[in-house]
Structures are given as structure tokens and as C-alpha cells.
Copies of this chain bind each other. A is one copy, B any other.
């Protein structure tokens, strides 16, 4: 459990430089944060206080789970504080400190912040836009060796999952969106993963025009033509979770004789994907440049992609950095970042095409860890 100790120490160095005496990390139903798991190995439903001397107190809802799973110096049941956020912070911090600065998550609601500050009047409460949340995003964005090892294994597993999906379409065992989703859930577990990393998005030709289809999958058909027999575009966006870490890939399945527009869309997306990977393969490139290369390519063909090019992956499926053509991302794509490249085009009539794979940024450029593809079915 050295990784956890190292992460706490790194956070405490930052706290000392910022003159912060304690930080509060929280994961409850209305405010989820994988910072909890990153720092304590406890997956969810707890509050973690980290003091500047690197001591930690975990306050879990499920005490049995915490005792089996968590890495923390002390564990106190949430029930001891009447399951109250404010009572927990007050109780844990007052026992150790007589005053000082406590930083809360920047997601802390305005109302709760004011109530907490009023109740903890011996302390100075901090909640800011360039503080704890951002430093945690930065820490988590660059994976350590243990995390990269997990990702290389997860990538291989994901490739076997992709093969199984392709087999399912070619053999005819995947006929409905539900068939696809169930195959992904069972196969990912059979391969040794914890399961899918998010609810599989499986959209047949009738509804692949949505960036994220709703519901995520239905009993409707996938992989074939449209009801009128014309070409159909289907999308599967899925991933698996290994030791808490998510992969995230998208396949497009082309069924029947595509229209010229559909054919053009698949070619543009495949080429955009290649352009994105090529851009990311230049060491030191900025995030913005990678995204801009793809946006410019689509624009030169009269198309616009309605979402970002990609995003970091980790304990969350969406982590920093976002691969977006925006001045905020005028910074290098750092070695150790694990990220997706996922260009897509959508049309209300033709449907959607998206191709997504996962990469590790290394000193020498992007290393592909998955190999998803656009399938052409007869």
C-alpha cells in the first residue's frame, strides 16, 4: 500500500507549501469524488480528512467495508457523527487542531460552505478555484508506474473484449443493443475485470445520431441496416474496469450498403482518428494542437464535431485533461497521461460514426493500448 502513502505525502507537501492544515475529501451520493479512492483505497461513501503531518482519518458509511478495504490511520463510523457532514468535519478536526486552515472540495455547495464556516468558527475554511480540486486533477492525470502497469493489462483485456464484440456481430449472436451490452458485461468479468467501466452505450441505426444515446441500450436491433433496408450506422461505446481503472473505447458498425453521406462520414472519422493519433505522437505537443488538428480537418470538409476529441481516463472514465481546441489547453500532453482519442460525426438521418481508442503518452509519443475499429458488415 506504498502507493497510497506516496500520494498522501505528495498531497501534504503541497498542503505545507499552501499553509493548509487539513483537507477534506468527500464521496457521498450527491457529490461523488474518486479522490477518496485515489488516496485511501476506499471506493466510496466516506469522508477522508488528511492533515498536513500526513495522518489521515476516514469516516465511512459502511464500516465493515472500510475495515476490509481502506488505507487510513484511523477509521471512525459515520454514524458516530450522526451522518452529518458538518459534525464530522468539526469532530475530526477539533480533536487534532485548535485552529488553522481547512480546505474543502471546490465542489462544496455554496450553501453548505456557508453553514460549515459558521459552525467551525475556530477555523479558517478555504474553498477556491485553483486549489485542492485542481492539484488532485493534476496528480491523478499523470499516472504512476503501478497505474500504467494496470493500464497495459487493461488495454490487452479490452482488445479481447473488442474481438468478442466483433465475433458477436459476425456470428450473428449480437442482434439487439441488449445482446451487445450483456456480452460486454459478462465477457469483461470473464476476462478478469470488475465489469464494464460505465453503462454501455449501444445505439442501433435508428438512434446512433445521438452523441450519448438514451436509454443507454434498448431491446432494439443493432449492427444491421435501417428498417427500409438502406445502410445503417451503429455505435458501441464501452469499456472495462480493472482494479478501479477504466478503459473507454467506441466501435462503429456499418451494416448494408451505406449511402454516399454515410460512407463519407466513416472515411472522415477514420482519417480524423489517424490524424489525432499522429498529432499526439509528437513528444511535447500541446493538448490544444492535437484537438485542433482534428477540428481543422473536419472543418476543411465542411463538418463539425459536437464534442471534444478526447479525455483523460483513470479511476473516473472522464478525467483531466480534456482534449479540446481551447486556450485552456495550451499546455503539453505530459508523459504518463492516459487518454482517449474519439472523433465522431452525427447526422439526424444518416446516424452517427465514432471511433475511440486509449493511449498512454510516453517520452516518445502516444502508445496505443487498445485497437478498436470501424466494422463493415455485409
Chain A residues at the B interface, C-beta cutoff of 8 Å: 29-30, 43-45, 61-65, 67, 69, 79, 106-111, 113-115, 127-129, 178, 181-182, 185-186, 189-190, 194-195, 199, 209-212, 214-219, 241, 306-307, 318, 346, 348
Q: How far is the CB of A26 from chain B (nearest CB, A)?
A: 13
Shortest Cβ gap from A223 to chain B (Å):
17
State in angstroms the CA–CA spacing of A194 and B241 once bound together. Answer: 24
Contact A212 B178 (CB under 8 A): no
Are B106 and A106 in touch, CB under 8 angstroms?
Answer: no
Bound-complex Cα distance A214 to B34 (A): 14
Q: Across the interface, do B189 and A185 meet the contact criterion of CB distance under 8 Å?
A: no
Contact A211 B111 (CB under 8 A): no
Q: How far is the CB of A319 from chain B (nearest CB, A)?
A: 12
Q: Give 5 nearest A-B pairs by CB, closest first.
A: A110-B113, A194-B215, A189-B219, A111-B129, A110-B110
Interface centre among A109, A113, A195, A216 (most CB of B within 10 A): A109
A209, B109: Cα distance in complex, Å: 33
- Quick one: closest B residue to A324, CB to CB? B83
Given contacts A79-B306, A185-B181, A306-B79, contact A212 B62 (CB under 8 A): yes
Q: Please name 29 pairs of A and B residues whose Cβ atoms are closer than 8 Å in the assembled complex, sorted by A.
A: A43-B214, A44-B212, A45-B212, A61-B306, A61-B307, A62-B210, A63-B306, A64-B346, A65-B210, A65-B211, A67-B348, A69-B214, A79-B306, A106-B109, A107-B109, A110-B110, A110-B114, A111-B127, A111-B128, A111-B129, A178-B186, A178-B189, A182-B185, A185-B185, A189-B218, A190-B219, A195-B216, A195-B217, A199-B199
Q: How far is the CA of A135 from the CA of B29 in the complex (A)?
A: 20
Chain B minimum-CB-distance residue to A79: B306
Which residue in chain B gives the minimum CB-CB distance to A177? B189
Chain B residue numbers with a CB within 8 Å of A182 are 182, 185-186
Write out the residue numbers on chain B whose beta carbons fall within 8 Å of the beta carbon of A307: 61
Residues of B within 8 A of A63 (CB): 306
Chain B contacts for A217, CB-based, 8 A: 195
With both beta carbons as reference points, the residue of chain B lying nearest to A191 in the complex is identified as B219
- Chain B residue contacts of A106, Cβ below 8 A: 109-111
CA distance A110 to B67 in the complex (A): 33
Smallest Cβ distance from A66 to chain B, in angstroms?
Answer: 10
Taking the closest CB of chain B, its distance from the CB of A356, in whole angstroms, is 17
Q: How far is the CB of A219 from chain B (nearest CB, A)?
A: 4
> Given the interface contacts A182-B182, A217-B195, does A62 sit within 8 Å of B306 by beta carbon?
yes
User: Judging by beta carbons under 8 Å apart, are B111 and A109 in contact?
Assistant: no
The complex places the Cα of A44 from the Cα of B115 at a distance, in Å, of 30
Q: Is the CB of A214 within 8 A of B110?
A: no
Return the chain B residue nearest A179 by Cβ: B186
Given A79-B306, A109-B107, A306-B79 in contact, is the A64-B210 Cβ separation under 8 Å? yes
Tell me, in angstroms, the Cα distance from A185 to B45 when the chains sit together: 25
B contact residues around A194 at 8 Å (CB): 215, 218
Residues of B within 8 A of A186 (CB): 178, 182
A178 to B188, CA, bound (A): 11
The smallest C-beta distance from A287 to any residue of chain B, in angstroms, reads 16
- Docked Cα-Cα span, A306 to B66, in Å, equals 14
CA distance A217 to B182 in the complex (A): 13
